[in-house]
Amino acid sequence: MGKGEDKGCSMRRIEAGSRYTYLPEGCRLCRKGAKLVLFVTGICNNSCFYCPVSKEKIGRDVVFANERPVKSVEDVFEEIEMMDAEGIAITGGEPLLKIEKVREYLKLAKKLDLHVHLYTSLPAGEKLKKLEGLDEIRFHPPELKSPEKYEESIRLAKKLGMDAGFEIPAIRFEEKIVEIVNRNDAFLNVNQLEVSESNWERIAESYSITDYYVSDEETERIVKEYERAEKFHYCSARFKDIAQFRRRLIRMAMNHPEFYAVTRDGTLVCTRVEGDAERLSIAEEILRKAGQEFVRFEDCIETTPELEKKIREALKSEGLRLRIVERYPTYNRLVLEVMDI
């Protein structure tokens, strides 16, 4: 048995309609917002109709640690630090098409004592023996076809000491999946199908959509059937937003300098000083002289949202633009709200 919650507990209901009888360790960390998503390649030999990978990433051999583009292992390390990660989810594309990269990241994770789980659409077979340090593996049969091909690999993964199971979107009920997990003491994770720019047209042809996911009613009809799996976990789309993502933001926000104001949603509020490079250097001088903490980016400076009036005036008199900004604490600094001051 893996490190997740023990088999056999009755159904536990958690946030936003999610529930489980067994929660794999990777999901437990994800719920805490402590899981870093490591996208190791956009290359994949399948073309699932519901594939959520963006058009910019699919088919391209690119690496991202959460929102951060990765050029070297150091970038991954920085992202781990930024969110105080306790675990890594290796995903793609198809990660096992780039197994050497996966091995490199596994080494880093083990050095830092992080839990690692990996998603794959391949019945990995003997490749599993190369994944030293992997704690948990989740098999995804594309469009739920031929799940029996994965049974041998589930057995082998468990023999190698990994926790193992299926992770599937709730597109339909596939009896064989339940039989395989129950036969092998494996887990089953079922996800509500989410709609993104890249997949919504194809999903809308066959399912009814509410907001950005397949409706709860339609999903529940399918998920109910899967509850026959002994080690069962259902993860709703809203759960990902209100629990997992929000908690990750809070962890990241808390690792920023104290002058940022942190909201209950884990976003940051600050004053953003904008201008060309020369003016930004003048702004740095002004803030330094005033003893004001700040962070310099290539395109702007960020400092406290409660900047004194005389400092604001001094900056403006140098032709700099000042705005109060609410943004994500993520690498891409996605802005949610802006107000000129």
Binding site for ligand SF4 (CB under 6 A): 44, 46-48, 51, 53, 92-94, 121, 142
Closest to ligand SF4 by CB, 51 vs 203, is: 51
Q: At what angle do helices 246-253 and 73-83 cross, to 10 degrees?
A: 90
| Distant-in-sequence, close-in-space partners of 115: CB < 8 Å, separation ≥ 6 | 3, 25, 26, 29, 86, 87, 88, 109, 135, 136
Tokens standing for residue 269: 């509020």
What span, in angstroms and rounded, lies between the C-alpha atoms of 339 and 332? 19
Tokens standing for residue 51: 């594939």
Residue 66's identity, in one-letter code, is: N
User: Is 84:78 a contact under the CB 8 Å cutoff?
Assistant: no
CB of 169 to ligand SF4, least distance (A): 8
Dihedral pair phi/psi, residue 224, rounded to 5°: -50, -45
CB of 51 to ligand SF4, least distance (A): 3
Instruction: Tell me the DSSP string of 166-185.
Output: EEEESSS--HHHHHHHHHHT
Which of 238, 245, 210, 259 shows the shortest CA–CA distance to 334? 245
CB of 215 to ligand SF4, least distance (A): 21
Residue 319's Cβ-side half-sphere holds a number of Cα atoms within 13 Å equal to 8
Closest to ligand SF4 by CB, 121 vs 153, is: 121
CB of 93 to ligand SF4, least distance (A): 5
Residue 321's identity, in one-letter code, is: R
Closest to ligand SF4 by CB, 90 vs 311, is: 90
Looking at residue 243, what DSSP letter applies? Answer: I
Closest to ligand SF4 by CB, 38 vs 287, is: 38
What span, in angstroms and rounded, lies between the C-alpha atoms of 234 and 20? 6
Angle at 43 between CA 41 and CA 174, to 5 degrees: 105
Closest to ligand SF4 by CB, 46 vs 292, is: 46
What span, in angstroms and rounded, lies between the C-alpha atoms of 104 and 316? 49
What span, in angstroms and rounded, lies between the C-alpha atoms of 290 and 274? 18
Closest to ligand SF4 by CB, 93 vs 165, is: 93
CB of 216 to ligand SF4, least distance (A): 22
Closest to ligand SF4 by CB, 93 vs 275, is: 93
Identify any residues that bridge with 18 across adjacent strands, giving them in sequence order.
none
CB of 138 to ligand SF4, least distance (A): 11
| Distant-in-sequence, close-in-space partners of 189: CB < 8 Å, separation ≥ 6 | 24, 27, 138, 165, 166, 167, 168, 233, 234, 235
Closest to ligand SF4 by CB, 94 vs 174, is: 94
CB of 125 to ligand SF4, least distance (A): 17
CB of 79 to ligand SF4, least distance (A): 21
Closest to ligand SF4 by CB, 96 vs 116, is: 96
CB of 90 to ligand SF4, least distance (A): 13
